[in-house]
Structure 1
Amino acid sequence: MMNESRPVLMRGGTVLPMDDAHSVLTNTDVLVLGDRIAEVGPNLTAPDGAQVVDATDGIVMPGMIDTHRHMWQTAMRAYGADWTLTQYFVWYYLDHGKLFRPEDIHAGNLLSAIEAIDAGVTTVVDWSHGLQTTDHADAAVDALESVPGRFVLAYGNIQQPPAEWSAAPEFRDFVNRRITGSDMLGFQMAFDVLGEPGFPEKPAFEVARDLGVAVTTHAGVWGATNDEGIRQMYENGFMTPETVYVHASTLSTDSYQRIAATGGSVSVATESEQSAGQGYPTTWAIRAFGIPVSLSMDTSVWWSGDLFSAMRTTLGADRSRAHLEAHAKNETVTHHALRAEHVVAWATRGGADAIGRSDLGSLEPGKKADVVLIKNEHSPVSFPLLNPYGQVAFQAQRGDVHTVLVNGRVVKHEHRLVDVDLAAARTAVERTVEHLRSSMGDEAWQQGMNPEIPESTVLENPYQYSDYRSEATHTS
């Protein structure tokens, strides 16, 4: 086991510093002192007592950053593999999301946090919209603080209107008690804008402004959120550089121009958008507007929880759309516009920029020491190492993550987690699954996991807290 107070020297790796030039530094060392990167260069001197990690034939890169993950749902891993977005809304928003107790939020967050650092995702925005009470919120934070990763709690509650839960005295009390400015726990507010007349979400934006925190919102989701919500945010002055628009898949040129003009960013969750139906993954549409991009995995109730999958699927979806658009014009794509180096940047620096952490996302002296070594001596896929960006985006996987540092602390080494009680996480999740299954009854549990194709149309936006239905996608 490594002592977190010792210096760490990663020796002789191929380093991706994620600078503006997307450099590749071969046979290069990375020295970590305390919680910071001290030096990056060849043949560095190891300080007395340093732990030296042999990075030969490996790739050293910044820790990856996921800007949108519903961590509380990880206890339901793969349960909704065959869901549509509508079935997700019905299960969590209308029918069974209310069954989650504080301890169930804790169990999901605990497992998700462990899973993240195991995959080299050193920072996660916990899009925590299952916080029905502040007891649930306390449980979420307790779980995040028990795992040696870096997190941002994005507080939300799908069972109440945003204006209601954000105005509750207990919410403000929670913020005062638990959000202390810790380097390891950031804070956002998470809610959606439905485009309902009167802009009922306005008071929640005002609370966010008063607290000085960013808002993250599911925007451009087919049948749920649309251009009207963007217009309301823009005309009321709530689109800021700190705002993160998740998915943003079905917006108009006007909306994309408003996001670009106000400096916001888009969190693309390609596995989710491809499967659930929010809209075609967004990168092919927004690159023309210069909108910054970060990557996210959304929820393990369907999909994988690592950013290798995010990078791979995003490249595939973007390139596929480029080919289809060209073929429709009887043309051929002969050169790719989106490269492997771009998605690796989105998974690192893009995430850091989205959450306002300029001290993360790259390997430079003075930056925070969130570092990942990808190396697997037992894998035939680990060599030859020719194009390291291509290796990360198309060849690597979570099992190739050899060593992970968060804030200078070694949390994974030689492919094994350090100081993590995986057995306790398993026990907690098993209790949550048993609670949900027994509360629902076995028949409902099985039906939820194996949904039938509905015979009737389901309202496009079945949120618990609003009866509003737009005419954008639902005309009957």
Structure 2
Amino acid sequence: MTSPLLIRNGVVIDTEPEPAVLGRMDVRIEDGAIAEVGPGLPAVPGAEVIDATERIVLPGFVDTHRHTWQAAIRAVAPDIVFDDYLRRVLGEIAPRYRAEDVHAGNLAGALECLDAGVTTVLDWSHVQFSPGHTEAAVRALHESGIRAVFGYCYGGEPNGLTAETRRVHALLSGAPGLVTMALAALGPEIAGQERALEEWRVAAELGLPVTAHLGGHSRDSAERELAFLEANGLLATPTTFVHALHYTDDEFKRIAAAGGSASYAPVDEMALGIGYPAAGRARAAGVPASLGADTVVCAPGDMFSLMRAVHLLERGRPGGAGLGFTTRDALRMATIEGAEVLGLADAVGSLRPGKQADLVLLRTDTPGMAAVQDPIGAVVLHADTAAVDTVLVAGRVVKRDGRLLHHDVAAVLAALKESAATVLAA
């Protein structure tokens, strides 16, 4: 149980139902949850007071699609296209990963998230070559202190998918805490329809949501495999469509009606040549849409870059088609809408009393953030990781005064560099 906290005198931004600047207020936290938001709140006896003067206070960012294990191969292929990513990163480098490399990457990658104000991450983990790899990944997420959804993508022999997924689910169910589970599916667009049937079946059996790369490969594939999912009743299981680029407006409406959601990685989608992000069209059709860093091998790992990218790309659509997209839309995708996509909107993503106290305090006493007129506009267009002063997860302070707590960061990074040297050895 965490100690009570009072965050005092910050400029508070809430995001539910829509992003809004509440003004200069206090946030009271008890038992790891938001108890009250308002001006001049009295301090609870024994509460620690955090002075948020010259700070913006807002919900922590939610990253809905990140291959966290790839932290050790940052910028290994900054100018590749998607086919080269599959060959170089997944075909050549990934098989060299030992369990200890997965641990090093996941721990450092999760701390990278916290350092940048990302308090919740879906770790889409497709480096599960053995039970040892899986246990190392999960252990690192627990150790980091981040709120995580472990997106388990089975990587062993084909006939072991169901049994191993059940085992991993039991492993996570037996260790309650900040780490939960989703099934990261390779079917139907990557590994075929037969695998998809098994993946969605075991997800339904275990009550797990599914996250899958869907709609980012081609127009024909998007149309064909959406019809397959519908015909087999698979969308009864909550499904996140990652890189949902090639759908028509009508198909997005069908996805919305089925309860589906979308995750976009706007930098990667453009840089890898996957396609132009369709976040605006998806949202207009009623599909909750969110943001993910995807991979740091060729893209930044912070939410500020992603918010700026999606804002620019939407507003830059030909003929002014996206000029209705605002900085508030970008911030919503990065917070409460991301929580909706992960099925966590009752727990995180906004400052509603009763929710978990996952919060970020951003500095405004720097040349790049001073004299802020529109705090939401400043968060999306001007802030960067250097502005992240304080971070809380479930009421626990994990970063204070610009420094991560609870970890020997130098040792974590040394292990990451050692791992990089191993996995990149010719």
Common topology (TM > 0.5) = yes
Gaps of 5+ in 2: none
**Larger Cα Rg: Structure 1 or Structure 2?**
1
Contact 2:185–2:211 (Cα < 8 Å) also in 1: yes
Structure 1 gaps, min length 5: 327-331, 442-476
Please give the secondary structure, in 2, of the residue aligned with 1:66. strand
In 2, distance between residues paired with 1:312 and 1:255?
27
Q: 2: distance between equivalents of 1:271 and 1:40?
A: 35
Question: In the alignment, which residue of structure 1 is the partner of 2:204?
Answer: 209
1:397 aligns with 2:384: yes
Q: Deviations over 1:172-225 (max 9, x none)?
A: 223212333624011001023345876442012111111110110011122595
Query: Following TM superposition, by how much is the alpha carbon of 1:26 offset from its aligned partner in structure 2, in angstroms?
Result: 1.2
Q: 357, 362, 383: which is aligned to 1:374?
A: 362
State the partner residue of 2:99: 102
Where do residues 220-231 of structure 1 align in structure 2 (5 Å cutoff)? Answer: 220-223=215-218, 225-231=221-227
Deviation of the 1:376 alpha carbon: 4.4
d(CA) in 2 for partners of 1:291, 1:91:
33
2:21 aligned with 1:24, yes or no? yes
- State the shift of 1:71 in Å: 0.3
Counterpart residue number, 1:174: 168
CA distance in 2, matches of 1:63, 1:21: 15
Quote the Cα distance in structure 2 between the aligned partners of 1:277 and 1:160. Answer: 31
Cα distance in 2 for partners of 1:395, 1:119 equals 14
1:403-453 Cα deviation digits (max 9, x unpaired) = 111001000111111112212211221221121233xx2xxxxxxxxxxxx
Structure 2 counterpart SS, 1:393? helix
Q: Which amino acid aligns with 1:15?
A: V
Instruction: Give how far 1:241 is off.
Output: 6.6
2:127 counterpart SS class: coil
* CA–CA distance in structure 2, aligned partners of residues 75 and 62 of structure 1: 28
Q: How big is each residue's C-alpha offset from its partner over 1:98-156, in whole Å with a ceiling of 9 and x where there is no partner?
A: 11111111111011010011111000000001111111100001111111111110001
What are the Cα deviations for residues 68-94 of structure 1, in whole angstroms up to 9, with x where unaligned? 000011110111111111111012333
What is the aligned-residue RMSD (CA, Å)? 2.0
Q: Which residue of 1 aligns with 2:62?
A: 65
Q: Quote the Cα distance in structure 2 between the aligned partners of 1:355 and 1:268.
A: 13
Query: Is the 8 Å Cα contact of residues 12 and 26 (structure 1) preserved in structure 2?
Result: no
Q: 5 Å matches for 1:42-441?
A: 42-157=39-154, 164-167=159-162, 169-180=163-174, 182-195=176-189, 199-223=194-218, 225-240=221-236, 242-321=238-317, 324=318, 326=319, 336-357=323-344, 358-377=346-365, 379-438=366-425, 441=426
CA 157–241 in structure 1, closer or farther in 2 if over 3 Å, else same? closer
Instruction: Name the SS of the counterpart of 1:201 in structure 2.
Output: helix
Change (3 A) 1:188 1:197: closer
- TM-score scaled by length of structure 2: 0.94
Distance in 1 between the 2:279 and 2:261 partners?
Answer: 11
* CA shift for structure 1 position 351: 1.2
Residue 450 of structure 1 corresponds to which residue in structure 2? none
After TM superposition, the structure 1 stretch with the greater mean CA deviation from structure 2, 419-428 or 103-112, is: 419-428
Does the 8 Å CA contact 1:98/1:159 hold for their aligned counterparts?
A: no
| Worse-matched range after superposition: 7-16 or 390-399 | 7-16
- What TM-score, normalized by structure 1, do the two folds share? 0.85
Q: Is the 8 A contact 1:179 1:185 kept in 2?
A: no
Secondary structure of the corresponding residue to residue 146 of structure 1: helix
Structure-1 separation of matches of 2:22 and 2:165 = 47
**Residue of structure 1 in register with 2:7 after alignment:** 10
Cα gap change, 1:183/1:20 in structure 2, threshold over 3 Å: closer, same or farther?
same
Contact 1:5 1:409 in 2 (8 A): yes
1:124 and 1:185 map into 2 onto residues whose CA distance is 10
Q: Number of residues paired by the alignment?
A: 423
Q: Name the amino acid aligned to 1:189.
A: L
Name the CA distance, whole Å, in 2 between partners of 1:61 and 1:354: 19
Q: 1 CA distance for matches of 2:196 and 2:20? A: 44
My pick for the range that moved more, 45-54 or 336-345, is 45-54
CA displacement at 1:279 relative to structure 2: 1.4
Separation of aligned partners in 1, 2:134 and 2:29:
34
CA distance in 1, matches of 2:85, 2:120: 25
Displacement, 1:291?
1.1
CA distance in structure 2 between the aligned counterparts of 1:160 and 1:92, rounded to whole angstroms: 20
Q: State the Cα distance separating 1:355 from its structure 2 match.
A: 1.2
Give the Cα–Cα distance (whole angstroms) in 1 for the partners of residues 192 and 149 of structure 2.
31
Q: Percent identity?
A: 37
Whether the aligned pair in 2 keeps the contact of 1:241 and 1:265 (CA below 8 Å) is: no
Q: Which moved more, 1:403-412 or 1:6-15?
A: 6-15
Q: Which amino acid aligns with 1:178?
A: L
**Secondary structure, in 3 states, of the residue corresponding to 2:138?**
helix
Q: Give the CA deviation at 1:23.
A: 2.6
Distance 2:292 2:193 in 1: 31
Moved more, 386-395 or 335-344: 335-344
